[in-house]
Structure 1
Amino acid sequence: MRHVIKLCWAAALSLTALAPAARADDYQLSHNQRIACSRGLAPGKLNTATCKSYTYLFNTKTSEYFRCQVSLALTRDNKEVINVQTDGGCTKKPRIFETDGKYDFDATETEPPNTNSFFGPGGYSVWAADVGAQKVRGCIIISSGLGSDISKCLDMTFQ
């Protein structure tokens, strides 16, 4: 019976080794992180400070990426901290190039509040380059204010 269990474990490990998985070195963190903080007064002399930060994680092989955000809200009165809340996570975004390759990447976004945002919280730009060829694609993603984002990408021409 032990031999059967060992054989099943060996087969399972072999299958997981054969499954196509992204290697750790296929991911790159954006070098353009930002943080924005705000504060407010609430009834009863409570003070609240909220900070949000974001970054992007890019798959350098497939050009898929994730937008990651973390936030912290702190509420206090004149004597003590009453509440601290944190939230965050990463949201998967579509790939920028249709085929696999070796890509470089960076991203930035508007920081709230921003007067350049007409329809919602703002937008962000993503730049990706094929490091094996002279190929660069720039994308701008903005909120439509109607529930969905508008995303357009353009391949750069070199003169």
Structure 2
Amino acid sequence: MLAVGLTALAASAPAAADEYRLSNNQRIACSRGMSPGKLVTATCRSYAYLFNVKTSEYFRCVVSLAMTRDNKEVINVQTDGGCFRRPRIFDADGDYQFDGAETEPANTNAFFGPGGYVVWAAETKQRRLRGCIIIASGLGDDVSKCVDMTFD
């Protein structure tokens, strides 16, 4: 009986492990600043998305590194990162594919803040695609709108 229970547990483990997928479109953006005393600070940031292929819920993840140096040595290194849960893209459970992309840093796309990002989700069992654009409003809350694609 114990062997049957362990076999059932082992059989269900891969299904749960396959429920999340990492987006294919990770980018890194770096900036550099000068400080008094000939100090230079470089900051690099990268985003990725972890997507639940069953529920269409996703996590937006960020990792950053800031390094300060003078002409001779690295003075300080700071790192940070984490993942933040975002709402479902589709209301019902299904079988989905997903990808996302970030705006480039500090450019004309960043009218109100640090810019935005786009996520695309598609059902794999039927022809259904939804694109969502999320931008920083500059007032604390992001503005998010999703559009169902039509096929002509």
TM over 0.5: yes
Cα deviations by residue, 1:100-134 (Å, 9 ceiling, x for unpaired): 10000001111211212221111111100000111
Other-structure match for 2:71: 78
* TM-score (normalised: structure 2): 0.88
Instruction: Tell me whether 1:29 sits opposite 2:18 in the alignment.
Output: no
- Rg larger for: 1
SS of residue in 1 equivalent to 2:131:
strand
Instruction: Tell me whether 1:103 sits opposite 2:100 in the alignment.
Output: no
The share of aligned pairs that are identical, in percent, is 74
Counterparts of residues 100-139 of structure 1 (less than 5 Å): 100-139=93-132
State the alpha-carbon separation in 2 of the partners of residues 140 and 62 from structure 1.
Answer: 19
Cα deviations by residue, 1:123-152 (Å, 9 ceiling, x for unpaired): 111100000111111111111121111111
Matched residue type, 1:72: L
Q: Which runs of 5+ in 1 are unaligned?
A: 1-16
Other-structure match for 1:7: none
* TM-score (normalised: structure 1): 0.84
Cα deviations by residue, 1:60-92 (Å, 9 ceiling, x for unpaired): 000000000000011111111111100000000
Contact 2:38/2:70, CA 8 A, preserved across alignment: yes
State the alpha-carbon separation in 1 of the partners of residues 134 and 89 from structure 2.
Answer: 12
Q: Which runs of 5+ in 2 are unaligned?
A: 1-8
* Structure 1 moving runs of 4+ over 3 Å: none
Instruction: Tell me whether 1:151 sits opposite 2:144 in the alignment.
Output: yes
Contact 2:26/2:46, CA 8 A, preserved across alignment: yes
State the alpha-carbon separation in 2 of the partners of residues 55 and 49 from structure 1.
Answer: 21
Structure 1 residue 33: deviation in Å? 0.5
Number of residue pairs matched? 144
State the alpha-carbon separation in 2 of the partners of residues 120 and 48 from structure 1.
Answer: 21
Give RMSD over aligned pairs: 2.0
Q: Which of the numbers 51, 69, 73 marks the counterpart of 2:44?
A: 51
